[in-house]
Every structure is written in C-alpha cells, then in structure tokens.
Amino acid sequence: MSESVILVNSTGNKVGTCEKLQAHRHGLLHLAFSLMVVRKTENGFEHLLQQRATDKYHSGGKWSNACCSHPREGENLDSAVKRRAFEELGVTHLSNPEYIGAMTYKAELDNGLTEHEYDHIFVQYCDNDTLPLAPNPDEVCATRWVNESDIQAELTHSPQRYTAWFAELLEKFIAARNVKAPSNA
C-alpha cells in the first residue's frame, strides 16, 4: 500500500499531498511528528530511544527518539502520535503527550533520499514501569533508556549512530524543558 504525506509551506500550512517515497526523493517539505518518551530519575532525565529496523527505507539501524512518522490525510496529530506509538512500539496507551513546538529541518539521507520535514514535537513523561513496550521488529531493532548526558556525549563522539534529526530534536526538548518544567516529571 502506497502512503502519502501532507506537503506544507514554511509555516506548516497544507499545500497538497504526495506519495511518501517521492516526497523523500525530491526533498519536498512535508508534515511530520516526533514523540519523545522521557522519565526523570535520580540521575536526571532518561530518554527512550529506538534503533530503527535495519531494512527501513532510510536511516536503518540508527538510534532515534521513541517514535516519529507522518500524519495521514484527515488525521489529527494527537491521533497520529498514538497510532504510530502503537505501530512502532506496541504502546497501547499514551496518557496525554505534551506538545512542545515544531521545527523544520532538511537532511540528506542514505539511498539518495532527503528528509525535509515540518516536525511537530510531542513529549510523553512517564514513570519507570508505566509504559510497557512490545516493539514491532519491522520498525524497531532495539530500545533502550539512556541518560540525557550520555546521549549528548554519544552525539558528540559518534553522531553517525543517530538519525539526522535527533540532535536538533533533543536540543528543542531541552530548551522547552528549561522554559517550563514538566508538572508530572
């Protein structure tokens, strides 16, 4: 089944649709979302990272945020986030992911593809055992919880292990957290 993405202008307003792979071949700006799953421990914030399945159409085997994808035509962002959290990680219930803003980025990827996204960012804060995972092996190779400072060190020393968008996404999360501390984390 061919999937489409929603093409947008620089302010995130819809201008059309396009087949997903074609949008990535031509680097067309399209709507996306990223979900970060975070928990606070005595050692600071930890992030749930996923390693993308090695046979994904781009960025296979790279580490990234908990979940990211594209909303479908007529699907609101909240529903899209919950749908993909289930499809990728087997998460059956997200309480209320917090919207923290959007970013636009453009990155050359493997396989001659370009990711050019207007990316809406959501954060789900959770306790240690409140988010049972059952990752879909077609989407995810592995998951791990990693302390934020360890992620930053890995991004400095081995950025090629991560998806092209992840470092900027992490920066946006940290900036948003510094502006407003989460009430439940």
Q: 10 Å Cβ neighbour count for 28?
A: 17
Q: 10 Å Cβ neighbour count for 168?
A: 15
The DSSP 8-state label assigned to residue 94 in this structure reads -
30 is in an annotated binding site: yes
Residues near 8 by Cβ (< 8 Å), separated by ≥ 6?
Answer: 14, 15, 29, 30, 31, 118
67, 48 Cβ separation under 8 angstroms: no
117 is in an annotated binding site: yes
First-to-final CA distance of the chain: 40
Of 46, 67, 98, 117, the active-site residue reads 117
Q: Is 67 a catalytic residue?
A: no
Q: Is 44 helix (H, G, I), strand (E, B) or coil?
A: strand
- Rounded to a whole number, what is the largest CA-CA distance in the chain? 46
Q: Is 68 a catalytic residue?
A: yes
Please, which residues bridge with residue 137 across strands? none
Alpha carbon distance 156, 22 (integer Å): 32
46 is in an annotated binding site: no
148 is in an annotated binding site: no
3 is in an annotated binding site: no
98 is in an annotated binding site: no
Of 42, 68, 73, 148, the active-site residue reads 68
Q: Which residues are annotated as a binding site for Mg(2+)?
A: 88
Q: Which residues are annotated as a binding site?
A: 24, 30, 70, 88, 115, 117
Q: Which residues are catalytic?
A: 68, 117
Q: Which residues are annotated as a binding site for Mn(2+)?
A: 24, 30, 70, 115, 117
